[in-house]
Structure 1
Amino acid sequence: MDELSSTEVERPEVVEDSRSAPVVKVAVAALRVADSPRLNGVDSDHVRALTEVESGLPAIFVHRQTMRVIDGMHRLTAARLMGRDRIDVQFFDGDEADAFRLAVKANVTHGLPLTLAERQAAAARIIHSHPELSDRAIASTAGLAAKTVAAIRLRSAVQPSPVRIGRDGRARPLNAAEGRRLASQVIAARPGLSLREIARAAGISVGTARDVRERIRAGQDPVPPRQRNACDAGSGRAVRAEPRATGPVALDPVDTRALLEGLRRDPSLRYTESGRHLLRWLSTRTVAPAEWRQAVDAVSPHCAILIERIARECARVWIELADELDQRSADRA
C-alpha cells in the first residue's frame, strides 16, 4: 500500500499550543456559557467537589473573540457559587470551530470525562466543520477509535475533501491513484524535479514518487492495476472498498502516560485523599508498550506460559473495568 504524504499544513493539534498562553484575571460576569461537547451541561456533583478544593484551581480556557468558555465550565460555575468576581483565564485566538475541537480534546484528556455518546456527537460535528481531517486525527481529538470515526463519516452527508490532513499535519490525497496520476503530470511538465519535489507537489511519499517515475520510464501506467481496479468505471474516480470485519476492532494506541498526567492535574483527584489513592493505584497498574517490550526479553522460556496467563487475566480484568465505566457513563447520558 502506498505511503502518502505531502507538504506540511497547520497541524490538527496546533490549537493546543495556546495552552501555553499567559494567565490573566478576568471578570466572571464577562464570561459566556461554553459551546460545550457535553450533552447534559454542567454536572452539579462535580461542581460541588470543586467548591471544596481549598487551593487555587487551574486557569480556565476562553475563546477571546466570543468570550465563551472552552475548557473549565465546571470551574467557572464553582467560582460563581463561591461568590468570586474574577477568575484565572488563558485565551485562545483561533476560530470557533477550532475552539470546539480544543474543548473536545481538553475534556477527553482530563477533568470530568465525556461519555461515549458525547464523544461520538463531537466527532460528527468536527467532521462537518473540518472534513479535511483524517479519521485518525479526529479520533485522537475525540477519544475514539479511527474505525468509529470512519463509520460516523459514512453516515454523514458531508462532501468528502479531496485531501485528508493526518495527525502529523500533512495533507494526503484521499486515494493513492489520484496522487500517482498527479505525480505523472508533474513529471511530464517538469522532468528535472527531484523525487522529493515531485512528492511534495503531488502529495505522495518519496517512495511512491520513485515508483511512479520508474513506471513511466518503463512505459507503464503510473497507477498499479490493483488501484485502477478500485476505480469506478463510470466516473473514473477511485472509491474505497468497505473493509469486512474479520475480528475484534483494533483501537488506536493510547498514550497512557499523557492521560495519567491529565488526571493528575484534575483538582477533584489531586486535592482529595480518595483521588490521590486512585492516582497512585492507576500509576502502579499501567504499562506502556516500551516497558513490556523490555520486560519480555527477560522472560525465561519455562516462565513464558505462566506470565502469558497472568497478562491475559490482567487484560480481562481491565476490560471488565472499562466496560463497567463505559456502562456508568451511558447510564448518566
Structure 2
Amino acid sequence: MGDDAGTTRMTVDAHGEPWPDPKLEALPVELVPIARLTVAGSPRVGGADPEHIRVLAGTSTVFPPILVHRPTMRVIDGAHRVHAALLRDERQIEVRYFDGSEDDAFVLSVRLNVTHGLPLSRADRNSAAEKILHAHPDWSDRAVAAISGLSDKTVASIRRRTSAEFPQLSHRVGRDGRVRPNNAAAGRRRAAAYVQHRPHARPREIAEAAGISVTTARDVRGRVREGLHPVPAGRAGAGTAERAADAGPEGGADGALFSSLRRLRSDPSFRHHETGRMLLRLLDTSMLIAVEQDRLVDGVPVHGTDAVKQVATQYAQAWQRFADQLENRGRMFG
C-alpha cells in the first residue's frame, strides 16, 4: 500500500471532497509492536500481493510510517509494508493513528490506495464503491467515483444493481459538499411549502430553504401565486401524483379523480385567490393516497400502524365533514 496522508477525522476539503485533508504527516509517529496490528478489512478483495511484499522486503529503504485506525488497530494504509517488515524479521513498525469511525477509515483506505502504492484492481474498486454506498447512500455518484477511482457512470450502475439494499433517500451529498434533492420535483415541492407559509419571502431565501437554485425558486413562487402546481407538467422527476394529474384520465376511479383535479387546477376561480390556491395544494397532496396507497401502507412500521391509522381516520372524517358542508351549501344555492 502507499504512503499518502490525511487528517484524523473525515471532513469536506476545499474542493468539497468527502475525505480527509492530506495532513497526516503532521501527526506524531509511534513505534508499535506489529503483533498488535490487524490487516483485516482491506479494500483488496484478494488480500495482499505476495510478489509486492517480497519486492518491498528486499529493498534497503526505510519504510515510511503506516496509517492505523486507533480504535480497532486495523491497518488503513501500509499492509504490504507490515508483511514486508515481518519478512525482514522486524517486530515493530512506525505508526500514525487515525481516530475517525470505521466507515471513515475504510473510505480513507480506499482513497489512499487508489492514488498511490500498489493500485487497487478494478474488482477491488468496484467492491469498495459498493461498500461506501452502503455506508454513505446519500453521497453522490461523482463523490464516490472520485474516492474509488471509478467513473460516475460505473458507480451509478453499481447503485442501480444493488438499489434494493440501499435506503431510498430524497437527497445526495455532492462533491462540493452541498445537499441536493434526487429530483427537481422534491425541491420544488419544498419551495412551494415554504412560500405557502412565507408568501413574501425573496427567491434567494426560498432557494436556501429548499435547496434549489434562485431561478427555480423564483419560478415556484410565481406558480404558487398563480395557483399553479409547483412542478410543471411533464417536468422530469415529477412525482407520481403530479405526472398522473397532468396526464389526464387513465380510466377507472383514479382516472376520474385525475380528470376532476385537472379541471379544478385550470379554473381561474380557484387560482386567483389564496383560499382557492390553498385548497388546490391540499387536493394535490391528497392525490398521493389514490396513486401511492400500497407503497404508503408498506412504508408504515408495525409499531406505528395504530397511530397512523388513527390520524388517517381523523383526516378522513375531516374531509367527509368538508364534503358534507359543500353538499349542504350546494343545496342552498342549487
TM-score w.r.t. structure 2 length?
Answer: 0.63
**Alignment correspondent of 1:122:** 128
Q: C-alpha distance in 1, partners of 2:136/2:200? A: 36
Please state how far the C-alpha of 1:10 moved relative to its aligned partner.
5.5
Aligned residue for 2:220, secondary structure, equals helix
Does the 8 Å contact 1:132/1:160 carry over to 2?
no
Please state how far the C-alpha of 1:159 moved relative to its aligned partner.
2.1
Could you tell me which runs of 5 or more consecutive residues in structure 1 were left unpaired when the two chains were aligned.
1-8, 237-333
**Alignment correspondent of 2:233:** 225
Does the 8 Å contact 1:15/1:94 carry over to 2?
no
Comparing 140-149 and 24-33, the one that deviates more: 24-33
Q: C-alpha distance in 2, partners of 1:226/1:17? A: 46
**Alignment correspondent of 1:165:** 173
Does the 8 Å contact 2:203/2:217 carry over to 1?
yes
Aligned length in residues: 228
- What amino acid is aligned across from residue 292 of structure 2 in structure 1? S
Please state how far the C-alpha of 1:100 moved relative to its aligned partner.
1.0
User: Residue 35 in 1 paired to residue 41 in 2?
Assistant: yes
**Where do 1:1-333 residues align within 5 Å?**
11=12, 12-17=17-22, 19-25=24-30, 26-156=32-162, 157=164, 158-227=166-235, 230-232=238-240, 233=244, 234-235=291-292
Please state how far the C-alpha of 1:97 moved relative to its aligned partner.
1.2
1:61-100, Cα deviation, whole Å (9 max, x unpaired): 1111101011110011112222223322222111111111
Aligned residue for 1:184, secondary structure, equals helix
Aligned residue for 1:90, secondary structure, equals strand
Q: C-alpha distance in 2, partners of 1:40/1:16? A: 28
**Alignment correspondent of 1:294:** none
Could you tell me which runs of 5 or more consecutive residues in structure 2 were left unpaired when the two chains were aligned.
1-9, 245-290, 294-334
Does the 8 Å contact 1:62/1:91 carry over to 2?
yes
Please state how far the C-alpha of 1:154 moved relative to its aligned partner.
1.1
Sort the Cα spacing of 1:229 and 1:94 in 2 relative to 1 into closer, same or farther, 3 A: closer
Aligned residue for 1:89, secondary structure, equals strand
TM-score w.r.t. structure 1 length?
Answer: 0.63
Does the 8 Å contact 2:185/2:237 carry over to 1?
no
- What amino acid is aligned across from residue 87 of structure 2 in structure 1? L
Q: C-alpha distance in 2, partners of 1:185/1:20? A: 49
Sort the Cα spacing of 1:228 and 1:221 in 2 relative to 1 into closer, same or farther, 3 A: farther
Comparing 205-214 and 125-134, the one that deviates more: 205-214
Q: C-alpha distance in 1, partners of 2:22/2:198? A: 38
CA RMSD of aligned residues (A): 2.3
1:164-184, Cα deviation, whole Å (9 max, x unpaired): 011111111111101111011
Higher relative contact order structure (alpha carbons within 8 Å, sequence separation ≥ 6): 1
Q: C-alpha distance in 2, partners of 1:31/1:229? A: 49
Q: Which has the larger radius of gyration?
A: 2
- What amino acid is aligned across from residue 94 of structure 1 in structure 2? G
Q: C-alpha distance in 2, partners of 1:22/1:97? A: 21
Does the 8 Å contact 1:34/1:70 carry over to 2?
no
- What amino acid is aligned across from residue 121 of structure 1 in structure 2? S
Does the 8 Å contact 1:186/1:201 carry over to 2?
yes
How many percent of aligned residue pairs carry the same amino acid? Answer: 50
Q: C-alpha distance in 2, partners of 1:143/1:120? A: 9
